[in-house]
Amino acid sequence: MTKISLVACAAFPLLLLASSAHTAPVGDAELRSSDKDAGNWLMYGRTYDDHRFSPLNQINEQSIGKLGLAWSRELGTTRGLEATPLVKDGVIYTTGSWSVVYAIDAKTGQIRWRYDPKVRRERAYFICCDVVNRGVALYRDKIYVGTLDGRLIAVDERTGKRRLTKWHMTEADALERYPGAEREPNSREERHNPGSAAGIVTKGR
C-alpha cells in the first residue's frame, strides 16, 4: 500500500506563512481574537465559531491554474490521517496515526520534531474506526494531544519534549464526558468521544 503523505501546494506559504505577531506563546487573548489573525491557524476550526475559513485571497479564479506541488511529506503509515493541522509562525503542528505528533516546517516540509506517546499497538484490536487522531491544541508554549489510550499529554512547542500528562482515562471512564482540549486546556467545554466505548480520546467534535 502507498504511504499516506502530507502535501503542500505551491501557494501554501502564501496562505499560511504570512507575517504574524505570535512570536510569543499563544494565550487566551490570542485564541479569542484568532479571527483577526490571517497568518496563523491556531485552533481546530481557526476561530471560536469554527468558521474554518481563511480570509486570505491569494488563491482565486485567476491564480488557481498556477498552483503546483511545493513539497510532500510521508508520515510512515498506511493508516488513516484525520487531523486538522494547526499553523503558528510558519510551523505546522499535526498528528498521524497512533497519536504521534509532528512539527513540520511549512516552507520546506522538513520535520522539526516528532513525539510518539507510544500507544500500545494491541489496542487497535478494540477500536472500531482505525487508530486516527483529530489533531492537537496549542496553548501558551505547549502542544496538547489527546491520545488513543486516554492520556492528555503536553509537549514543548519548540522541542517536542513531554512536559506533563494532564489526566488519564480508564476503560471504566470511557462512556463519560470530559473537558475538551479543542479550544485550550483550561476550557471546561465538553466533547463526547466518538467510539468512546473503546476508550478513545479524540479532539474533534
Domains of the chain: 5-54+67-198 (2.40.10.480)
- Cα–Cα–Cα angle for 180, 135, 88, rounded to 5 degrees: 105
Amino acid letter, 13: P
- pLDDT tens per residue, range 43-98: 999 998 888 888 888 989 999 999 999 999 988 888 888 899 999 999 999 999 99
In whole angstroms, give the CA distance from residue 183 to residue 166. Answer: 16
- pLDDT tens per residue, range 143-175: 999 998 888 999 999 999 998 776 655 544 543
Amino acid letter, 47: T
In whole angstroms, give the CA distance from residue 46 to residue 142. Answer: 18
- pLDDT tens per residue, range 95-131: 999 999 999 999 999 999 999 999 988 878 877 788 8
Name the pLDDT band for 196 (thresholds 50, 70, 90).
very low
Q: CA 2 → CA 27, 75, 92, 94, 149, distances in Å?
A: 39, 11, 23, 20, 27
Which sign does the torsion angle of CA 159, 165, 171, 177 carry? negative
pTM tops 0.85, yes or no: no
